[in-house]
Amino acid sequence: MTEQPMPSGGRIALTPILSEHWGDPEPWTLDSYRATGGYSGLRAALSMTPDEVIDTVKAAGLRGRGGAGFPTGLKWSFIPQLRPGEPVRAGADKPHYLVVNADESEPGTCKDMPLMFATPHTLVEGAIIAAYAIRAHHAFIYVRGEVVPIQRRLRAAVAEAYAAGYLGAPLPGTGDGADFALELVVHTGAGAYICGEETALLDSLEGRRGQPRLRPPFPAVAGLYASPTCVNNVESIASVPAILRHGVDWFRSMGSEKSPGFTLYSLSGHVARPGQYEAPLGVTLRQMLELAGGVRAGHQLKFWTPGGSSTPMFTAEHLDVPLDYEGVAAAGSMLGTKALQIFDDTTCVVRAVLRWTEFYAHESCGKCTPCREGTYWLVRLLHRLEAGAGDEADLDTLAEVADGVLGKAFCALGDGAASPILSSLKYFRDEYVRHVTEGGCPFDPAAATVFAPATVGGEA
């Protein structure tokens, strides 16, 4: 860990683990990665049995970095295995698959792409360790279709790993998993946000239209090709090599008791120095803003998202909420992808929520009625309000429709569409009313751009 001075004179402990070598010369190459200890975590894993690797990750307390924060090691343990003396579990006699979800595409979320672009071998090494742990001999990295430079860099890293014998050939010293070998495929998605949902991703991998599946059965029992499958986020898998290299106690020395370790926080929007900040779980936005130079000059924080556009928004009163899974949940939101979108006092909350809702309406797969119809009507209602053509009864209708989507859709996309609306009505209902009483939006859109000159306020 390193300490970074803050403008106020305090200090915040940073944990540059995943991002430590992003600034090195050509950190994406195999030689550069191995020069900084790369693949030593794999060597440590191969000296253990697969079950011991799972137990190590469970003991470390690593939680999924893609949204819900489910314990990674526990997820791996759900994959049914054939063990001597144990009853045969459903699916244990089928091939196992590891799928890495790299379909990062939610507004505000931007941590996995720079990680794969700067140090793709971190992900490759993590995928080999994870596949060894769940006894999978085939793994897939599902990458969003638009990010061509990242696909090229990731494919080049995979090719280097094959040439070096980390992939495609039996690996030595593999505990009770002798002759373990892994085939790793980088698969390009078609750019559908819904394919970030794990079961829709699996359908897409199989060549079908990406739509969520009914559960149960869960992927751990019947996932890819109806076989046991583990789906993990990029950052989750990329965090595994450091745990195997440095140990459980080292990992748990960072973060909080129930949310241990380091993670990438993505700051964007009206902040002086946006970017990726790697810190222990449990830091606060106040600390992060100090490090990032604060909200842009001449303005004040109005609202922000703790985990991307799909999470209920927070306001300035939540500056000291611990940014870990329990702290954010207790305050009424979700840590999600740790995408901290910062909006100052020039921003119209109705317009911001409208833009997000348009995204979710466009990306809805249409499989279920609450999401397909609900997002359509949410957009129409928000357009009416933003244009000044609505009335106060529309606010009740907006809340009613959002409530009809929240928790009723087939997957979490519906929740992502409804949460910003319900939370903005909770904190900024008076601003919605102003759109009615003043006959339209009272804010100047140009003032909300990051290129606008520094002024106090921002209303027209």
Which of 349, 359, 358 lies closest to 301 in space, CA to CA? 349
| pLDDT tens per residue, range 270-314 | 999 999 999 999 999 999 999 999 999 999 999 999 999 999 999
> What pLDDT, on a 0 to 100 scale, did the predictor assign at position 49?
93
Average pLDDT (250-268) is: 96
> What pLDDT, on a 0 to 100 scale, did the predictor assign at position 7?
40
Please, are residues 227 and 182 in contact by the beta-carbon 8 Å criterion? no
pTM for this model (two decimals): 0.93
CB within 8 A of 319, min separation 6: which ones? 284, 285, 286, 289, 301
Question: How far apart are the C-alpha atoms of 330 and 434, rounded to whole Å?
Answer: 30
> What pLDDT, on a 0 to 100 scale, did the predictor assign at position 451?
78
| pLDDT tens per residue, range 88-110 | 566 667 999 999 999 999 999 99
> What pLDDT, on a 0 to 100 scale, did the predictor assign at position 342?
98
Question: How far apart are the C-alpha atoms of 79 and 338, rounded to whole Å?
Answer: 28
Segment holding 88, helix H or strand E: none
pLDDT band at 14 (very low <50, low <70, confident <90, very high): confident
> What pLDDT, on a 0 to 100 scale, did the predictor assign at position 450?
75
Average pLDDT (419-441) is: 97
Torsion (CA) 276, 282, 286, 291 in degrees, nearest 10: -40
pLDDT band at 178 (very low <50, low <70, confident <90, very high): low
| pLDDT tens per residue, range 80-89 | 987 666 665 6
Question: How far apart are the C-alpha atoms of 110 and 19, rounded to whole Å?
Answer: 14
Q: What are the structural domains, with CATH classification, of the chain? A: 37-250 (3.40.50.11540), 349-442 (1.20.1440.230)
Q: How many CB atoms lie within 10 A of CB 199?
A: 21
> What pLDDT, on a 0 to 100 scale, did the predictor assign at position 459?
44
Q: How many CB atoms lie within 10 A of CB 437?
A: 11
The mean-pLDDT minimum among 2-16, 27-41, 54-68, 220-234 falls in 2-16
| pLDDT tens per residue, range 202-238 | 999 999 999 999 989 999 999 999 999 999 999 999 9
Which of 151, 141, 126 lies closest to 42 in space, CA to CA? 126
> What pLDDT, on a 0 to 100 scale, did the predictor assign at position 3?
47
Averaged pLDDT score across all residues of the chain: 92
> What pLDDT, on a 0 to 100 scale, did the predictor assign at position 455?
55
